[in-house]
A and B are shown apart, each in its own frame.
Chain A
Amino acid sequence: MRLTLHVWRQSGPRDAGRFVRYDVTDVSPDMSFLEMLDVLNQQLLGRQEEPIAFDHDCREGICGACGMVINGRPHGPQHATTTCQLHMRTFPDGAALWLEPWRARAFPVVKDLVVDRSAFDRVIAAGGFITARTGSAPEANSTLVPKRDADLAMDAAACIGCGACVAACPNASAMLFVAAKVSHLGLLPQGQPERATRVVSMVAQMDAEGFGACTNHGECMAACPKEISIDFIARLNRDYLKAVARPKPQAVKANGGDV
């Protein structure tokens, strides 16, 4: 296969950035998308040109490190597939591909296709956990969890934190990411004591990070490699309304403790 790539090159956060064209030959349909970029980078190094920076690690679709916008779609054209699991057989011979980083105010570009997603970590630190001190846990089977709830919690917990939902959203909203965590923990009996404070704290942090608001476009769900449903956003909204409708609703300290 032969391909024409138009790749976003940006040396750092202060550089304006631009598309640079590369012609790639000898691409095998069995290659993964990142292996195709490996081949290009080896060729660039051979010509003493600077290789394209991109994040990647497990290459099994689970670590959430990789991700780029391919022809306008986060993670490319294949449904429910991360960039690392996308294979070149998905594309026709001679295809022209435009590669861009995630674009969102809360995800500043580090270099080329690499962005800074630490905002997600700070949203989790604000409340995306169950406070369970090491050593204080009761016997695991002492609390029953209906299979239906456990399965639904697992559907939400499958989020890999890649940020495709933010990149797909016209408002660069992180609602699907936050909703997935709020729902995962809120569906389980262990997550009930902090359910109200969790949702309020996480939403407050999401706003502080500069993510946009949700206007129900649904692009996030279409782009999500783990098929996380926007039903969870409805669940988040319900939890949030219930939490703020209570007397004296307020955000808690970052550690989830008392104010």
Chain B
Amino acid sequence: MELRSKAPAGPLADKWEGYRSDIRLVSPTNKLKHHIIVVGSGLAGASAAASLAELGYTVSCFCFQDSPRRAHSIAAQGGINAAKNYQNDGDSVFRLFYDTIKGGDFRSREVNVYRLAETSLRIIDQCTAQGVPFAREYGGLLANRSFGGVQVARTFYARGQTGQQLLLGAYQALERQVGAGKVRMYPRTEMLDLVVVDGRARGIVVRDLVSGAVGSCAGDAVVLATGGYSNVYYLSTNAKGCNVTAIWRAHRRGAAFANPCFTQIHPTCIPQTGHHQSKLTLMSESLRNDGRIWVPKRKGDTRPPREIQDSERDYFLERLYPSYGNLVPRDLASRRVKEVCDEGRGVGPGGYGVYLDFADAIARLGRHVIAERYGNLFEMYERITAENPFDVPMRIYPAPHYTMGGLWVDYNLMTTIDGLYAIGEANFSDHGANRLGASALMQGLADGYFILPYTIGDYLAQAKLGQVGTDHTAFRQVEREVSERVERLLVARGRTTPDAFHRELGRLMWDKCGMSRNVQGLEEALQKIAALAERFARDLYVGGKGEEFNQTLEHAGRVADFFELAELMCRDALHREESCGSHFREEFQTPEGEAKRDDARFGYVAAWEYAGAGKAPVLNKEPLEFEVVHPAQRSYV
């Protein structure tokens, strides 16, 4: 497999502009004839579907939820970055680019990250024009806040509901095109496979989740905007429906999967309360602006937090990273939280928690200021824990949140299958080994509004695609395979539910391929996953029929794909004998306990190629070349 990034030549700052002016265009009359399939309706999918339809393409958009407005982008709380420099604090496109590539521990493609930083400026303009009610100052100008891993205030926000407001903006733009007849929307419809004809992506096979019918959709290009795979850990901050199936099925059809082991564990989530737990809830990173993280200095100190004097507390992030303090990047914060808890200094039931304390901020700014900034987050915390953060410090613990890995894409966002694109969290491109806060919304919208709509034209203009409809034999064949797979899940008739298998797999991945990894653990995980997958095939119980609304069956199909992904994640983590960003191999660390990169051996993107069932995947490498930045050990001290 050849990995051609198609990164354009020229000075970094001029590359995208030059490239955009150079690529082929599709004439307005020809655009009408092209049918593009978009899978997923989150920030990336909805913005892409709306923008493509505005350009004149015919678009079909699919989502498994009952409405495109429910995609998980809606749950993003904190904000979206843009290098507007409205605060006059020295921000610039270059600085956003540099922070992002450094935050990713120098494991992302330089040209893509620069383009992302450049595009950030237009996203804020676009969203404001759509009516996104961003926070404002009294003079009517847009307000900003700070986020982790940076020293400027460049994050735009809409209370604690930024993702919701940005998604509703994109959703409304999408619905405008639905009303105009330019987009056909298919809610409650799940993509279960990709159809490749003559080496090109020409359609998808889907299951109607209400009737259970398996059917197809044919088109000239397929765009996957199906999000990340944190739910491989079972407990994560993702919505319950988030899954890897669409990109995993594309991987099995020939799309390389890049850096699957780069998974972000977010430091500030509400700790687990019991074995019934179905998901974990994130508390926005923006809370680290005003909250101070601490644990007791003494092990096993179970006194109530207010009885522990300041001198008896360890504000460990402020102690270890004086210049960034509580605002260090997520991977560092998570690891340090785990460390103090493993030392026995954790708080709350089970000792898996640290305090996030607002007492100082309330004393300094007043209760009303804190209420305005974080009111809805405090309420959410109280609903879940029955504790009021105005009176007692929050308790937080890390949880899986985002996956930097995903389908490998070139500069055009095209995967290794011609005509198949991956955008948003579903691709691997911009965040390297660790994503900075408020950058996921930025990337989803950059891909969907401002990059894919241009680059897809370059392919369609020269592809010379023949007529392929759903009556083509390739569609019949894939439909048959999908139906057989669904049938296999139903006939097992064992005793264990998909949910029970999913929990077991998740626990294993969290223990062995979570916040820190080592060779023994990963090898053990590979064996256990194989044994668990074998038991899954034998002892699964789903019940009901395929031709009906069957939520257990939906879950079973997703868990089956998580098993295969889990194996690839462990293989990737095992082969990468270095620590970088979120990927912390215990064998490779500095004396201070920081990640120790090995640029000479691992300064590449690991793009795994599917080699067939039961065969070891093939590793392909895209070397990372840095023309402008010089990879150094990240320092936030």
Residue positions of A touching B, CB distance < 8 A: 12, 28, 30-32, 34-35, 38-39, 42, 45-46, 48, 50-51, 53, 55-65, 78, 80-81, 85, 87, 89, 110-111, 114, 116-118, 120-121, 124-141, 143-147, 150-151, 153-154, 157-158, 160-161, 184-185, 188, 190-191, 253-257
Contact = CB atoms under 8 A, between A and B. Distances in A.
A90 to B, nearest CB: 10
Among A118, A140, A185, the one with the most B-chain Cβ atoms within 10 Å of its Cβ is A140
A212 B70 CA distance: 25
B383 A85 contact: yes
28 contacts: A12-B549, A28-B276, A30-B274, A42-B500, A51-B552, A58-B70, A60-B75, A61-B380, A65-B66, A80-B379, A85-B383, A117-B67, A125-B176, A132-B126, A132-B173, A137-B122, A140-B142, A141-B141, A145-B136, A146-B136, A147-B137, A147-B140, A151-B136, A157-B165, A188-B133, A190-B131, A255-B179, A256-B179
Interface string B386-401: 1000000000000000
Given A132-B130, A145-B140, A57 B176 contact: no
B450 interface: yes
A30 B273 contact: yes
B131 A130 contact: yes
Contacts of B140: 144-147
Interface in B54-110: 54, 65-70, 72, 74-75, 84, 86
Contact of A137 (B128, B276, B282, B549): B128
Contact of A63 (B84, B187, B239): B239
Contacts of B282: 60
What are the nearest 7 A-B pairs in CB distance?
Answer: A144-B140, A255-B180, A254-B179, A125-B179, A137-B129, A129-B172, A132-B129
Contact of A154 (B130, B137, B159, B239): B159
Contacts of B593: none
B633 interface: no
Contacts, number: 228
B131 A185 contact: yes
A127 B172 CA distance: 9
Interface of B: 47, 50-51, 54, 65-70, 72, 74-75, 84, 86, 122, 124-131, 133-142, 158-159, 161, 164-165, 168, 171-173, 175-181, 185, 187, 210, 239-241, 273-274, 276-279, 281-282, 379-380, 383-384, 386, 449-450, 453, 495, 497, 499-500, 541, 543-544, 549, 551-552
Contacts of B172: 124, 128-130
A114 B210 CA distance: 10
Contact of B67 (A51, A89, A118, A134): A118
B72 A157 contact: no
B75 A63 contact: yes
Contacts of B135: 150, 154
B126 A60 contact: no
Among B84, B140, B380, B541, the one with the most A-chain Cβ atoms within 10 Å of its Cβ is B140
Given A38-B499, A257-B180, A58 B142 contact: no
Contacts of A120: 67
A147 B136 contact: yes
Contacts of B74: 58, 62-64
B276 A55 contact: no
A78 B65 CA distance: 26
A87 B161 contact: no
Contacts of B47: 134
Contacts of B380: 60-61, 85
B556 to A, nearest CB: 11
Contacts of A58: 70, 72, 74-75, 239-240
B75 A126 contact: no
A135 to B, nearest CB: 7
A255 B384 contact: no
Contacts of B177: 255
A222 B54 CA distance: 39
B84 A140 contact: yes
Among B67, B127, B281, B552, the one with the most A-chain Cβ atoms within 10 Å of its Cβ is B67
A60 B282 CA distance: 9
B553 to A, nearest CB: 11
B58 to A, nearest CB: 15
A154 to B, nearest CB: 4
Nearest to A39: B276
Among B69, B122, B274, B379, the one with the most A-chain Cβ atoms within 10 Å of its Cβ is B69
Nearest to B47: A134
A254 B180 contact: yes
Contacts of A137: 122, 125-126, 128-130
Given A38-B499, A140-B142, A116 B66 contact: yes
Given A57-B65, A63-B75, 16 more contacts: A30-B274, A38-B276, A45-B543, A59-B239, A60-B75, A64-B74, A110-B210, A116-B66, A121-B187, A128-B172, A131-B176, A132-B173, A134-B51, A134-B173, A136-B129, A255-B176
Nearest to B493: A48
A191 B72 CA distance: 26
Contact of A56 (B51, B240, B384, B453): B240
Contact of A144 (B126, B141, B278): B141
B179 A31 contact: no
Contacts of A136: 129
A42 B180 contact: no
A114 B549 contact: yes
Given A64-B70, A89-B386, A140-B128, A184 B133 contact: yes
A110 B549 contact: yes
A124 B70 contact: no
Contacts of B65: 57, 63, 65
A53 B369 CA distance: 42
A1 to B, nearest CB: 12
B383 A81 contact: yes
A144 to B, nearest CB: 3
B500 A87 contact: no
